[in-house]
Each structure stands twice: as structure tokens, then as C-alpha cells.
Amino acid sequence: MATSDGPGATPAFDTSQPTIARVYDALLGGKDNFAVDREGAATYLKYVPDAGRCAIDNRAALVRGVQYLVRDAGVDQFLDIGSGLPTQKNTHQAAQEINPNAKVVYVDVDPIVLAHGRALLATNDNTTVVTADLRQPQEILDHPDVKRQLDFSRPIALMVVGIHMHFHDDEKPDEWVRTLMDQLVPGSYLFITDFVDTGEPLQKAMEQAGLESLGNGWIRTPERIEQHFLGMPLVPPGLDFLERWNPSAPDDEVPDVDELQPYQKILMAGIAKKV
């Protein structure tokens, strides 16, 4: 594995404030978090008792999406932004169990991701972890480890999974993603999950939990989430609640929306193709 600041460097962690990556890790039952992060996770659980299941379901959708992209779409390069801690089955494992040569670059703003990625991926030359910020997309594109690992003359899957909710629309997150997508060739993909607002009280509770614990975590209407895909066509089944979304088997029997538990209506997923 390659890392962006060389082997042996130990980033300092601020344990006075919760971070998104560490709170999410705590919700997933991971151990790479501090007391302040567990307090943040407790706030989520206070508002949404099944918040941990939402996180697990999001990871499961991530795996389904990655495996669709490798198996069905033939993608073998992934730029996974806001990748989080490798608590559960991760993008590189999902991709490389189908194609061992698939290349994965993880990008996260939280230095703890790099610290843990270094240890866990030490023997995997096809996987790289970079500390960088989605809000500075050109810096991601110019990063030497990104350029070394990915071939921008061939299709790449850009993953922005479980991260839009942490940015308010006023920050224009779609423009950062557009800068990245503009550099990818036709045949590339954009994979997104986001918190949704279809009027369910528990969706609003999830937003409240995020605002109280992290200061962010906004919900959006499905119409607004569709705009994240920058006008590119979505692959079947389009944008849907995680429980109903399976791009490898979109015609399989899916539960009616009315059959979903309230916690299963908190996130939606979709994959678009650049044509």
C-alpha cells in the first residue's frame, strides 16, 4: 500500500471534538474511536435507536455498488472519497475479491483513516490511502499518489458514499464533485448515498442528531439528491432506499416502500454513468 505522508509518520488526533469518521466507526461497532466520539454516537442513538443499522446498511449498499461496478460494469479503478475507517468490509476488499487487480484510492480528510489504512493495507499494492479534502477537488486530482495509482485515460468509479449529508447546499458540494467528474473519461461512474427527506419524522430526527453531535448531517429531498448526479443517467434501479436498491439485480423482488421500517428510509443510493 502507498500512503501520502510516508511510512512511520503518526498524525496527531484531536480527541476534544468528535469527528465524522470516528463517530461512524463507533456506530458500526468499531474500536477506532475516542470517548468524545462515543458520546457523538450516543446522541445519534438517542434520536435514532437503529442508527447503527443504518450505518451497517450503508456499508452493505457500498459493497453491492462496488461489486456491481466490478462485475457488471467492468470497472477496475475506484476513487473513494470520504472512505472512512476500514471497520467493515471495505471498497478494496469488495472489488479485489472479484478482480484482484482492481485499483482503489481512498481519500479522507480525517488523518485517522490514513493511520489505520497504513496498518491494514500494508501488503496491498493496489490500494492507496490519501489524506485530502473533497472541498479541494483539484488537490485530489493533482495528488501524486492518486496520479500514480489511477489511469485517468480509462474509466474510474468515483465514490462519494455517505458524505454529502455533511455539507450544506450553500457549500455547493455538487460543484466539487463536478470538478472530479469532469476529469474522468466517458464510461466512468459516480456512486452516491445520502440522507433523504421524504417527510418521515425519523429522517428529521437523524438530521437533528447530526446537528447536535457533529454540527452537520442534513437531509435532502430525492429530487435534490438526483441533482448530485450532475444530469448523468442513473443505472437501474435509479435512486432508491438502500433496502430496495440492488444494481446487480434491479428486477429482483423488492419490498414496497410501505413495508420498510422507518430506519430503512433514512438513506438512498444511486449510481450514474458518464456517457
Residue ranges that bind ligand SAM, judged by CB under 6 A: 20-21, 24, 58-59, 62, 81-84, 107-110, 133-135, 161-163, 166
* 228 and 192 Cβ atoms separated by less than 8 Å: yes
152-191 core/surface letters (b: 16 or more CB in 10 A; e: else): eeebbbbbbbbbbbbbeeeeebbebbeebbeebeeebbbb
Write the CB contacts of 205 (distance below 8 Å, at least 6 apart in sequence).
Answer: 47, 48
Smaller CB separation from ligand SAM, 20 or 235:
20
Least distance to ligand SAM, CB of residue 231, Å:
23
Least distance to ligand SAM, CB of residue 148, Å:
19
Smaller CB separation from ligand SAM, 137 or 259:
137
Rounded to a whole number of angstroms, the CA Rg of the chain reads 17
Smaller CB separation from ligand SAM, 32 or 197:
32
Which amino acid, 130?
Answer: V
User: Phi/psi of residue 121, each to 5°?
Assistant: -115, 20
Least distance to ligand SAM, CB of residue 224, Å:
19
Smaller CB separation from ligand SAM, 1 or 160:
160
What ranges in 101-241 are assigned the alpha helix state H? Answer: 111-120, 137-142, 144-149, 173-182, 201-213, 222-227
Least distance to ligand SAM, CB of residue 78, Å:
11
Smaller CB separation from ligand SAM, 168 or 185:
168
Least distance to ligand SAM, CB of residue 228, Å:
14
Grid coordinates given for 27 = 456506530
d(CA 200, CA 224): 16
Least distance to ligand SAM, CB of residue 256, Å:
26
Grid look-up 441533482 returns 227
Smaller CB separation from ligand SAM, 142 or 259:
142
